[in-house]
Amino acid sequence: MAIRWLRGAVLFVETILFTVIVPGTVTVWIPYEILSGSAQGISTSWMARQYLALVAGTFGAVIYFRCLWDFAVTGRGIPAPVDHPKRLVVRGLYRYVRNPMYLGVLLILLAESAFFGSSTLLMYTAGWFLFVHLVVVLYEEPTLRHKFGASYERYTRAVRRWRPGRKYRETA
């Protein structure tokens, strides 16, 4: 019982550290650096664009944290090479699209670009997404294919990489 609790505590700390370091850098620190080089700031009167961006960014954060939860609870790991999930995660939003966590982060970045009306931030977002796509195709998918074999093959045939589709149903 104590060992199980300790594993859970370590996983919780790893999850928090991963979130602060990786998505925190991508969605907070780098955009801050990009925006600090410009004269843009938050005006005191918001336009509809900013309200919509706030809703979209919140939705992106909810997607990210839901996926992080599924990684920790179902996969017993974090979405980083240092502690990949031990089980293939095909629940929650992963039943509809293979990379919902990245899509959540993408939505946050697009929302920030819209909120601040920053074309530079939008270009960074496009570059980030291209980088992520290459990582997924060249590293993550081959690694998951090797680790989970036929179950991952079935999953990739049924669930699209970037566009949500019909609900995936696991077969035994």
| pLDDT (tens digit per residue) in 98-109 | 999 999 999 999
CA distance linking residue 15 with residue 36, whole number of Å: 29
What was the pLDDT predicted at 154?
A: 93
Range of the domain at 16: 2-158
Q: Is residue 100 in a domain?
A: yes
Q: What's the chain's average pLDDT?
A: 86
* 171 belongs to a structural domain: no
In a domain, 88, yes or no: yes
Instruction: Calculate Rg over the CA atoms of the chain.
Output: 18
In a domain, 167, yes or no: no
Four-residue CA torsion sign, 33, 34, 36, 40: negative
pTM to 2 decimal places: 0.87
Closest CA to 95 of 157, 145, 166, 153: 166
Residue 94 lies in a domain: yes
Contacts made by residues 137-146, CB under 8 angstroms, sequence distance 24+: 143/84, 144/88
On whether the CB atoms of residues 88 and 75 are closer than 8 A, the answer is yes
Domain count, the chain: 1
Domain membership of residue 87 (yes or no) is yes
* 105 within a domain of the structure (yes/no): yes
**Residue with more model confidence, 88 or 137:** 137
Nearest residue to 71 via CA among 97, 101, 95: 101
pLDDT range class, residue 23, cuts 50, 70, 90: confident
Q: What is the pLDDT of residue 83?
A: 59
Q: Is 166 a domain residue? A: no
Q: Are 69 and 126 in contact (CB under 8 A)?
A: no
